[in-house]
Chains A and B, each alone.
Chain A
Amino acid sequence: MSTSLLEVNDLEVTFRRSAGPGRKAASVPAVRGVSFQLEAGTTLGIAGESGSGKSTIARTLMGINTPSGGSMNLNGEDVTGLKGRRLAEYRQTMQMIFQDPYDSLDPRMTVSQTLLEAIKLRKTNKPVSPMAEVHELLDKVGLSRSFASRKPRELSGGQRQRVSIARALSVDPRLILCDEAVSALDVSVRAQVLNLLKDLQEELGLAYLFISHDLSTLRFMADYVGIMYLGKIVELGTRDEIFDRPQHPYTRALLSAVPEPLVIDRTVRLPRVRLTGEPPSSTNPPSGCSFHPRCPLAQDVCRTVSPAARPTASGQVAACHFADPELVVAEA
């Protein structure tokens, strides 16, 4: 068996909407066959447009949404479709930091109440002195102990996000899912929180699944990057592979959209790819390659055959009929 902390195989999540007045029943395939592995102590970044299924992956891993297909393995154990106590136990190996720091803490609870509640829920390694642990957690996330008695409304966005991180850490997780965890923060505060997350990773050996639409954040945080389009990972590789030698035309389009100074020095300047049009409806994804209606390279084959993810010469895996190094060089 593999030694990966987390292994996701062919994960599928479909939302069903029942028929109602003035609308038909529909099924929305939000995640369509996603596979990836995550090693302990590393960070996998996932990027993509809104509606590409990034958050659904995180919510499914946490057991908030139910997968309609595929499997999830944590520490080599199949955790797909767990229920009740087993689910509660497994969830603690994994925690989540949410997007909106103004909504992720109960406004009626003080910081210490929030943290104590979480600490007392820990299944393993039962707390001896909960209040001392609250202080320890606050130290860990760089908040002074005086914050313990404060209510969320007295805290700034960055401070709230630190409390959220402390809450996630309180159950000793091995993996933290960060769903747009810094997107709502000011740029300066964002950098501080990202640095904190990096320090915690080094100190505790945490793995992160870092979901963001912001590529510069991912470039800073991630060891591996997956690019999602319409419920599929279209390209997956190490950070440098994705950022320096992107193979999939969608990845190149995303990178072209990042303001140049932030994407740092490129040895090979890639051709700019401009995306036009809206992302297609996920209720009714296009035939063949989902990206073909917007793809500058689209050929007849793209309209009929869905490209399988395959390794490319530069190392990463890409799902594109034309992803091979020669093409990129020819264009460059």
Chain B
Amino acid sequence: MSEAIPAAAIVDPAELGDKPVRAREVWRSLTRDPAALISIIVLVLLALIALAAPLLSPHDPLQTFPDQGLGPQGQPLPPGTPGFLLGTDALGRDLLSRLIYGAQVSLIIGIVANGLATAFGVLVGVVAGYFGGVVEAVLMRITDVVISFPILLLCTALIAVTTRSTFNVIIVIALIYWTTLARIIRGMVVSLKEREFVVASRTLGLSHRAIMWRHILPHLVPAIIVYTTLGVASSILIESALSFLGIGVPIPQASWGQMISDGSTYFQIAPWMLFIPGICLIVTVMAFNLVGDWLSDMLNSSTPTAR
């Protein structure tokens, strides 16, 4: 008979609902929102390009071509030059290759940094909201302190005391971006924990950890998905800003912010050096934002728990 229901099913917080219905709903809502559909396609393509960077890029992104890569006066070559599809930069490096590897850096930083920030923010928010009292007061005051700093200033200060590396950029961004989510999640948990089904599981003797894991976290998933998606965009932007200021990923590694920074110096003779990475950055950030908006609309309208 229905003995088939596995015991593990109880603890699976990922089970959001009836899957078949969901897939159809998702598709229907996507067809109603072409901007989101295009954004998803753009992001998938971008991810594939970043993953296949070694296969796709025509040159080594770090290699300079002092002879073929620069014009007679040593100026960067414009897009369309044979061998250099998007032209070269001031050191005679292939712009397309740098752009492709830059996508890798941007996505890794955006996703990893933001993933860490999300995990930390959710943890702080759930613990503060669930336990309340002193725990909440301490955690939320720390959050307030971090929020009150200007982001760029704090990043600069933190990086100034460490060495310049991609890893450190990720950690610094994660250390700053958990705060907003922590606040949002705390607010949701405060109201969730008074819901009767949570009180009921307490009276049954379920442990605090199990309640948070099984009865609270699953209800936060829609919000987490939305804010994480939006957060990736801001993490990519802040990385670019840091690289632009010369404190992001270390030179000579390619990153879009770094390329924009280089390009701004040569704007008058080689505007493509600025525009090409700039357009990539804008498109990517916009795509993440559009997908985030769409997710928020979809999850909020179809989630049965939204009451």
Chain A residues with CB under 8 Å of chain B are 62-64, 88-89, 91-92, 95-96, 98-100, 103-109, 112-113, 116-118, 121, 123, 130-131, 145, 148-149, 151, 153, 164, 167, 170-171
**Interface code B237-276, partner A: CB below 8 Å = 1, 0 otherwise?**
0000000000000000000000000000000000000000
Judge whether B196 is part of the interface by a CB distance below 8 angstroms: yes
Q: Are A167 and B196 in contact (CB under 8 A)?
A: no
B278 at the interface (CB under 8 A from A): no
B16 contacts A108, CB within 8 Å? yes
Chain B residue with minimal CB distance to A104? B196
Task: Kindly provide the distance from the CB of A91 to the nearest chain B CB, expressed in whole angstroms.
Answer: 5
Checking A121, A131, A153 against B206 with a beta-carbon cut-off of 8 angstroms, the contacting residue is A121
Can you list 24 A-B contacts with CB-CB less than 8 angstroms, sorted by A residue number?
A91-B205, A95-B203, A96-B200, A98-B196, A98-B199, A99-B196, A100-B196, A103-B195, A103-B197, A104-B196, A105-B200, A106-B214, A109-B10, A112-B5, A117-B201, A117-B206, A118-B204, A121-B204, A131-B2, A131-B3, A149-B2, A151-B17, A164-B200, A167-B200
Least distance between A49 CB and chain B CB atoms (Å): 22
- Given A95-B204, A106-B201, list of 12 further CB < 8 A pairs? A88-B205, A96-B203, A104-B196, A105-B197, A105-B200, A106-B215, A108-B15, A108-B16, A108-B219, A153-B304, A164-B200, A171-B205
Considering the chains assembled together, what is the distance between the CA atoms of A275 and B210 in angstroms? 48
The residues of A that contact B215 with a CB separation of less than 8 Å are 106
Q: Is A113 a contact partner of B9 (Cβ separation < 8 A)?
A: yes
Shortest C-beta distance, B2 to chain A (Å), equals 6
B134 within 8 A of A: no
Q: Tell me how far the C-beta of A262 lies from the nearest C-beta in chain B, rounded to whole angstroms.
A: 29
The 6 closest A-B pairs by CB, nearest first: A88-B205, A104-B196, A98-B196, A103-B196, A106-B197, A121-B205
Q: Are B197 and A116 in contact (CB under 8 A)?
A: no
* CB-CB nearest in chain B for A94: B203
* Contact across chains for A131 and B219 when beta carbons are under 8 A apart: no
Cα distance, A164 to B201, chains bound together (Å): 11
Q: What residues of A have a CB within 8 angstroms of the CB of B202 in the complex?
A: 64
- Tell me if A171 and B204 are in contact (CB < 8 A): yes
In the assembled complex, B7 has its CB within 8 A of some CB on chain A = yes
Q: Which of B3, B5, B197, B304 has the most CB of A within 10 A?
A: B197
B307 CB to nearest A CB, Å: 8
Do A116 and B10 touch (CB < 8 A)? yes
Chain A residues, Cβ within 8 Å of B9: 113
Q: Is residue B301 contacting chain A, with contact meaning CB distance below 8 A? A: no
Q: Which residues of chain A are within 8 angstroms of B2 by Cβ–Cβ distance?
A: 112, 131, 145, 148-149
Give the residues in chain B near A117, CB-CB below 8 Å: 10, 201, 204, 206, 214
Asked whether B305 lies within 8 Å of A107 as measured between CB atoms, the reply is yes
- Residues in chain A near residue B201, CB distance under 8 A: 106, 117
How far does the alpha carbon of A100 sit from the alpha carbon of B17 in the complex, in Å?
Answer: 22
Distance in Å: Cβ of B204 to nearest Cβ of chain A: 5
The answer to the question of B218 belonging to the interface, with a C-beta cut-off of 8 Å to chain A, is yes
The docked-state distance in angstroms from the alpha carbon of A109 to that of B158 is: 44
Interface string of B198-237 (1 = CB under 8 A from A): 0111111110000000110011000000000000000000
